[in-house]
């Protein structure tokens, strides 16, 4: 079982529409601040979400789940993301859409299980022998290539490390030089080198250099205390799914067909139930020994009415298992049939599951709230907009949806650019809005001209 060198396989998330959201924006007593942490209005939903965060932190959410219910574009996804951010930045957030479970290759429950395990983190703490300090010098020592020729090779690296207590000069193997380069280590950085494996970890830039520039995406860390050579607690965050993948064997045998199969689908691995049990066993051992700690994250299932009765039953059971993430569902449907049955239920969710849900309602925004959100998005996207264009957009948003007007921003800025302007004018918005119609108008046109469309 490999646990040491597991790479984190975070799903690359397409949440760029939500980059402005940094948290729930609540005050100390848990009330929503009208405009904070990138969120505007929707006070009750945010306060309810704050309570969910408290419940999760005090470990009282077990066996329960949250449902965000409300019309499209009312911030359901945004608030779910904010909940994950409030739980801490190392807490896994795994978003999925209900319809993702339907695949011809993989079982529905398998897809759910994988996402479940993506949403459960494991924090592994190990005490390791390390050399740690601020890099004071970094000199590769070159020698003539022993194989002949003109090239030179690095035969060793001299590195100076400084802590609050002392300095040390180390002579290192050239292989470590490569890892130093990979981590882009320079003098002035704080790093540590694991004594056994030679693995290098760059922790950030030393505080002593912090005043160099003000605008930098750099993390500054204090000069390490203690000796350079010491025992240090090293923390690593992975998800259960990462461990499954790291331990999965490539599929197939040695015959030509399965070799071909592997060529066509590189990296295709099979994670079986047996393997998961194995991984769980090891994880439990680590937890018992106090080396590791479970960090339940958030599994966000959007368009939950797309799930069918089979997956609901499975989910219901999984919620009760000992290690489960916090599940947040979202839907914009009212009464509809539960897929796979002909029963009509609220949100298309079976009643017994519905019973377990804390339901948070999101409401349509007022014109001034829409104006604030659109303004916020223009700032985030680095666009400029004139006041009357902003007013026009927010009124349009009240008649259509928030999502629609946010989507108009980029094309409108292009239209402005074509005219050689930097700021978006009202004409740009009007022009773009006439080119791209919103869903409601589109539906209206469809019903008015029924006879002209194919059925």
Ligand X SMILES: Nc1ncnc2c1ncn2[C@@H]1O[C@H](COP(=O)(O)OP(=O)(O)O)[C@@H](O)[C@H]1O
Report strand pairing: 152-162 vs 167-172. antiparallel
CB of 38 to ligand X, least distance (A): 6
**Cα–Cα distance, 41 to 192 (Å, whole number):** 45
Is 74 a binding residue for ligand X by CB under 6 A? The answer is yes
CB of 89 to ligand X, least distance (A): 19
Element (H, E) at 138: strand 120-144
Point out which span in 15-23, 26-34, 73-81, 384-392 binds Mg ion (CB under 5 A): 73-81
CB of 371 to ligand X, least distance (A): 12
DSSP per residue, 197-259? T--EEEEEEEGGGTTS-SS----EEPPPPS-SEEEEEEEEEEEHHHHHHHHPPBSS-SSHHHH
Q: How many CA atoms lie within 13 A of 37 on its CB side?
A: 17
CB of 9 to ligand X, least distance (A): 25
CB of 84 to ligand X, least distance (A): 13
Is 406 a binding residue for ligand X by CB under 6 A? The answer is yes
Judged by beta carbon, residue 95 or residue 325, the one nearer ligand X is 95
Is 347 a binding residue for ligand X by CB under 6 A? The answer is no
104 touches 224 (CB < 8 A): no
**How many residues of this chain bind ligand X (CB under 6 A)?**
20
What string marks each residue from 355 to 394 as x (binds ligand X by CB under 6 A) or -? ------------------x---------------------
Judged by beta carbon, residue 50 or residue 75, the one nearer ligand X is 75
Token digits of residue 321: 């298992």
Cα 324 to chain center, whole Å?
A: 18
Q: Which of 23, 65, 77, 301 binds ligand X (CB under 6 A)?
A: 77
**Cα–Cα distance, 24 to 283 (Å, whole number):** 32
Q: Which of 48, 49, 53, 76 binds ligand X (CB under 6 A)?
A: 76
Q: Which of 6, 32, 40, 374 binds ligand X (CB under 6 A)?
A: 40
- Contacted entry of ligand X, Mg ion, none for residue 402, CB cut-off 5 to 8 Å set by kind: ligand X
- Contacted entry of ligand X, Mg ion, none for residue 75, CB cut-off 5 to 8 Å set by kind: ligand X
CB of 431 to ligand X, least distance (A): 23
Closest CA to 39 of 56, 14, 12, 18: 18
Q: Which of 42, 239, 311, 398 binds ligand X (CB under 6 A)?
A: 42
Is 298 a binding residue for ligand X by CB under 6 A? The answer is no
158 touches 206 (CB < 8 A): no
Is 23 a binding residue for ligand X by CB under 6 A? The answer is no
Q: Which of 18, 40, 74, 77 binds Mg ion (CB under 5 A)?
A: 77
CB of 120 to ligand X, least distance (A): 24
3 touches 243 (CB < 8 A): yes
Token digits of residue 357: 């849900």
Cα 35 to chain center, whole Å?
A: 23
388 touches 60 (CB < 8 A): no
Judged by beta carbon, residue 122 or residue 373, the one nearer ligand X is 373
Is 402 a binding residue for ligand X by CB under 6 A? The answer is yes
What string marks each residue from 18 to 57 as x (binds Mg ion by CB under 5 A) or -? ----------------------------------------
Element (H, E) at 337: strand 335-337
Point out which span in 37-45, 116-124, 209-217, 433-441 binds ligand X (CB under 6 A): 37-45
Element (H, E) at 82: helix 76-87
Point out which span in 4-12, 70-78, 94-102, 165-173 binds ligand X (CB under 6 A): 70-78
**Cα–Cα distance, 361 to 348 (Å, whole number):** 16
In this structure, how many other beta carbons lie within 10 angstroms of the beta carbon of residue 323? 16
Cα–Cα distances (Å) from 318 to 11, 103, 160, 327, 381, in that order, read 22, 20, 52, 10, 40
Is 247 a binding residue for Mg ion by CB under 5 A? The answer is no
Is 130 a binding residue for ligand X by CB under 6 A? The answer is no
CB of 79 to ligand X, least distance (A): 7
> H/E/C letters for each residue in 379-408?
HHCCCEECHHHHHHHHHHHHHCCHHHHHHH
Contact residues for Mg ion (CB under 5 A)?
76-77
Contact residues for ligand X (CB under 6 A)?
17-18, 21, 38-42, 70, 72-78, 373, 402-403, 406
């Amino acid at each position: 079982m490999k646990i040491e060198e597991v790479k984190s396989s975070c799903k690359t998330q397409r949440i760029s529409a939500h980059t402005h959201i940094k948290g729930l924006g609540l005050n100390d007593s848990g009330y929503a601040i009208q405009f904070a942490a990138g969120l505007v209005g929707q006070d009750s939903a945010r306060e309810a979400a704050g309570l969910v965060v408290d419940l999760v932190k005090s470990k009282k959410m077990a066996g329960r789940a949250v449902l965000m219910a409300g019309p499209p574009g009312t911030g359901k996804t945004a608030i779910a993301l904010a909940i994950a951010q409030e739980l801490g930045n190392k807490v896994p957030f795994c978003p999925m859409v209900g319809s993702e479970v339907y695949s011809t290759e993989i079982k529905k429950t398998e897809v759910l299980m994988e996402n479940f395990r993506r949403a459960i983190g494991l924090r592994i703490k190990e005490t390791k022998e390390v050399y740690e300090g601020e890099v004071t010098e970094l000199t590769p020592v070159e020698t003539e290539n022993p194989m002949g020729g003109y090239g030179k090779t690095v035969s060793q690296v001299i590195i100076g490390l400084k802590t609050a207590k002392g300095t040390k000069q180390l002579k290192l193997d050239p292989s470590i030089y490569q890892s130093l380069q990979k981590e882009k280590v320079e003098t002035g950085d704080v790093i540590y080198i694991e004594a056994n494996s030679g693995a290098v970890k760059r922790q950030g830039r030393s505080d002593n250099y912090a005043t160099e520039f003000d605008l930098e995406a750099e993390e500054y860390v204090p000069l390490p205390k203690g000796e350079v050579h010491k025992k240090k607690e090293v923390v690593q965050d992975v998800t259960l799914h990462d461990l499954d993948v790291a331990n999965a064997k490539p599929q197939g045998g040695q015959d030509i067909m399965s070799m071909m199969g592997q060529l066509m689908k590189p990296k295709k691995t099979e994670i079986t139930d047996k393997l998961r049990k194995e991984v769980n066993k090891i994880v439990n051992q680590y937890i018992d020994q106090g080396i590791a700690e479970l960090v339940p994250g958030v599994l966000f299932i959007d368009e939950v009415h797309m799930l069918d009765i089979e997956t609901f039953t499975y989910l219901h059971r999984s919620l009760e298992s000992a290690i489960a993430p916090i599940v947040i569902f979202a839907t914009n449907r009212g009464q509809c049939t539960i897929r796979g049955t002909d029963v009509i239920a609220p949100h298309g969710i079976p009643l017994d599951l519905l019973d377990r849900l804390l339901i948070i309602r999101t409401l349509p925004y007022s014109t001034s709230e829409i104006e604030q959100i659109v303004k916020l998005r223009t700032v985030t996207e680095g666009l400029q907009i004139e006041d009357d264009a902003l007013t026009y957009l927010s009124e349009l948003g009240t008649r259509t949806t928030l999502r629609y007007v946010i989507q108009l921003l980029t094309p409108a800025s292009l239209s402005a650019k074509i005219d050689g302007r930097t700021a978006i004018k009202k004409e740009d918005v009007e022009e773009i809005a006439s080119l791209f119609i919103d869903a409601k108008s589109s539906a209206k046109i469809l019903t008015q001209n029924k006879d002209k469309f194919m059925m």
